[in-house]
Structure 1
């Protein structure tokens, strides 16, 4: 007796069971061994294969460069640095700036830049024209020295007088328009400031004068005046004092030079710049005075001149 037959669900009787299907091989494809490259690129981004090796980064050109040594402290610095890591000194200051030559060298060496010759051209010899600048300058200097020789001694003497200390120039003769008894004009030039000259008339004494002469011409530079009767303050106010004097300098050739001198109402010396060349005579005229009144005369204790002998 047969047992019950086993049937496959959905498969008719007598039909063999289906076998698993295999992928179809493309035409012309041969079997590939392990390790061989595939015939077609795998899926994914174009131009990228899984076995493509990553590219190495570019080599650093400064890696093989020698370190920069600081000229100041000797420390080694990485290539490409501008300042030293230790002392901050400039590592590559560059070429020094060009020094401009002096003006006289630029004038002498002023030349036009030479132009190069073309290939195959034969350079022509040029005759250099004589330079007249230097000989002409030498001639001008020699001419100036030749014409200045007669005046050189005078110029040197003038410079010596201006730079040297002035000397005392006492007059050889002096007189006044008038003089009170015991107060002659010579008292104003005797070197003592406790004796004085006073005119005979009392009051403002406008127009009264002192006059002195020199035996040789002098170059006048300064004048010192002691107004009043004395350089001491307790005796200074006993008489009137000149407030303004007019100095008239007469030269050897007869020309005159006038200067007004304003004095302070105080005891002691007062210095003034009074300049005159070849001076042979000086007149001091009283123009106004301090402390005038009845029975008071204008007094001048001392007058001194300073300069150089001509």
Structure 2
């Protein structure tokens, strides 16, 4: 009887190598699938559960980075820009239509940067400002001339206004009215009548209408202190300004009983004649007459 064939000797399977620590950069003998990945299927065995992605139509090129994307994509594969931003925004309405219409602002399209509204606010504010300025100028027309004159009077330097004719209510022969307008303070005018001289006046005419601003008076017979008290002095004067249109403006000024220059604000427009009448007197007495050494006018022609 033949002996049975001996069974083949099987070598024991090698023990699995324990996974040890791996340093960065070490190469693996076989690729290990990452989390959520499935190992590659052998060639020639397609996945029956895989659903093919349709790719109908030409590729869409990104306008920003020029990357070609599948026609069914919404965002760029590379830069994330919206591939189909939709129709362009409507042009803005003119400012007058924006005042009348109160439409709601459209929300910005996804993926686009909203435009700033500053220029729209300025474009609305500028016409409103111009309308308000035009209305203010229209209603302020009657006062523009006065405002202009006041500005020039406040910022400019007044010039001396010389009259072309002077006269007085009365005068002594050696002290005529012109002595009060000759720029000399040692020559003076006195009325002919002895006494306080209330109501006596001096009058000056200008060649053309002027704007009166200031009046300078040297009371008494001289600007020197030792000669100042030799005659009576005006204590108050009524200044009457007459314009080219025959309008009359009056102002009463009070003078100090002291020698030298005394300046007063006396304003008038288109003045052609000035009268100064004596209302009160300092140092009145027997045989004494009120004296005026000098009168000067300042303003603009």
Please give the range of the TM-score, normalised by the shorter of the 2 chains: 0.5 to 0.7
Alignment deviations for residues 176-231 of structure 1 (CA, whole Å, 9 cap, x no partner): 00001200000000000000000001111001000001011111111000000000
- Distance in 1, Cα, partners of 2:133 & 2:256: 54
Partner of 1:140: 131
**Number of residue pairs the alignment of both structures matches:** 187
5+ long unaligned stretches in structure 1: 1-111, 116-127
Instruction: Note if 1:201 corresponds to 2:180.
Output: no
Aligned runs of 1:1-310 on 2, under 5 Å?
133-134=124-125, 136-140=127-131, 143-144=134-135, 156=148, 158-309=150-301
Secondary structure at the counterpart of residue 199 of structure 1: coil
Tell which structure's C-alpha radius of gyration is larger: 1
Change (3 A) 1:144 1:181: same
DSSP-derived class of the 1:134 partner: helix
* Runs of at least 4 residues off by over 3 Å: 112-115, 130-133, 141-158
In structure 2, relative to structure 1, the CA distance for the partners of 1:207 and 1:134 (3 Å cut) is same
For residue 273 of structure 2, give the secondary structure of its aligned residue in structure 1: strand
In the TM superposition, residue 137 of structure 1 has moved relative to its aligned partner by 1.1
Task: Indicate the RMSD between aligned Cα atoms, in angstroms.
Answer: 3.4
Shift of 1:301: 0.1
Q: State the alpha-carbon separation in 2 of the partners of residues 231 and 152 from structure 1.
A: 42
Tell me how far apart the structure 2 counterparts of residues 205 and 274 of structure 1 sit (CA, whole Å).
23
Unaligned runs of 5+ in 2: 1-103, 108-116
